[in-house]
A = this chain, B = another copy of it.
Amino acid sequence: MTARRPSLAVVGATGAIGGVMLRILSQHADVWGEVRLVASPRSAGRKLVVRGEETEVLALAEDVFDGVDVALFLVPDDVSAHWAPIAAAKGAVVIDDSAAFRLEDDVPLVVPEINSHATRLRPRGIVASPNCTTLSLIVAVGALHAEFGLRELIVSSYQAVSGAGRDGVTALREQLSLVAGTELGTHPGDVRRALGDGALAVSSPFAAPVALNVVPWAGTDAGNGWSSEELAIREECRKVLGLPDLKTTATCVYVPVVATHSMSVHARFENEVAVDRAHEILATAPGVVLFDSPASGDFPTPSDVVGTDPTWVGRVRRSMDDPRALEMFICGDNLRKGAALNVAQIAESVAAEITLA
């Protein structure tokens, strides 16, 4: 007897995260029965390849959820806010990658390596996946928390432009092509000429040029000088780790990198920490790669990490001022673990429930 394989809908199949999801579904081809690809009416009728088969994209509508066991939402907040409850009402378990439900009390926020148990308690039929910045660091930090007891995080991000969607990648590409013809000396005029007026002519999701620049603002104004992405890291780390009083301060900065978010992390624990023990924990934690021998050139960078599943950790040092604090540099592919992979992992744990039921 073969167990029934559950059916899946992928809403947002044509986006940047959708594209990564289709590759993950092809790699994990034996989990799902029928796979329906869904997008806005504008993209309906396009054909995409998943699990080796050309599959027509359906327009988002109520009836696409008929008979669907699990629905992945890889779409903007407003689309999720409207359509996820409709899919749930039709009986699908929704795994939502948007911010629409992440901080709702009756929606679990899940990182399978840390709180997979939370997936099963989903009174609204919706499970949320964290922001890509939270996901880039929390697997490593969570493993250390289990041993040392986390008390405070001070984080500065080096975020990839794909965190702002396909428009972010397009803006970087167009700005780089403006720069390509320019002699890059150290005279300020070189950079200004290349990026000044030209960059402003390129439509961009960033508030400043991102090629040959860094942009310390991500998301929207959240009051008192904070950006929404900075507060998201704070609230989501607290919720996933089950530490409602965790001290957490983030500064979010876009850098001219296509994919993979990096984080400089100061983590203070309840107990004294030793680098050797932290190395042992990180080297054996699920979903973590330890890459930490900087004098030999072994530290994670986005170009090492892009396209891989795990969170990579290096530059682990104990604070010279506080025996309870560690410094680390952490990289995670924002489109894989930071988005599509975490959603797929949650979905597969729901699939296992359905298959075993």
Contact = CB atoms under 8 A, between A and B. Distances in A.
Interface of A: 16, 19-20, 152, 154, 156, 158, 162, 166, 169, 172-173, 176-177, 179-180, 184-192, 195-196, 199, 207-209, 212-217, 221, 224-227, 234, 247-249, 251, 253, 255-259, 262, 264, 266, 275, 292, 294-295, 297, 299-304, 306-308, 314-322, 325, 327, 329, 333, 335
B154 A213 contact: no
B251 A321 contact: no
A264 B317 contact: no
Contacts of A303: 191-192, 195-196, 199, 208-209, 212-213
A303 B213 CA distance: 6
A209 B162 contact: no
A162 B176 contact: no
Contact of A173 (B16, B177, B184): B184
A156 B172 CA distance: 23
Q: Is the interface of A mostly helix, strand, loop or mixed?
A: mixed
A338 to B, nearest CB: 12
A213 B16 contact: no
A329 B258 contact: no
Contacts of A295: 221
B214 A262 contact: yes
Contact of A251 (B177, B196, B221, B327): B327
A267 to B, nearest CB: 11
Residue among A208, A216, A255, A302 with the most chain B CB within 10 A?
A216
Contacts of A320: 234, 249
Nearest to A179: B176
A155 to B, nearest CB: 9
B225 A249 contact: no
Residue among A20, A187, A225 with the most chain B CB within 10 A?
A225
A315 B251 CA distance: 9
A99 B255 CA distance: 29
Return the 8 tightest CB-CB contacts between A and B, nearest first: A188-B307, A156-B264, A156-B156, A225-B317, A247-B321, A221-B295, A180-B180, A251-B264
A336 to B, nearest CB: 9
Contacts of A185: 169
A184 B216 contact: no
Nearest to A177: B180
Given A154-B266, A214-B302, 11 more contacts: A158-B214, A169-B184, A188-B306, A191-B306, A217-B315, A221-B295, A225-B292, A225-B317, A226-B317, A253-B264, A253-B329
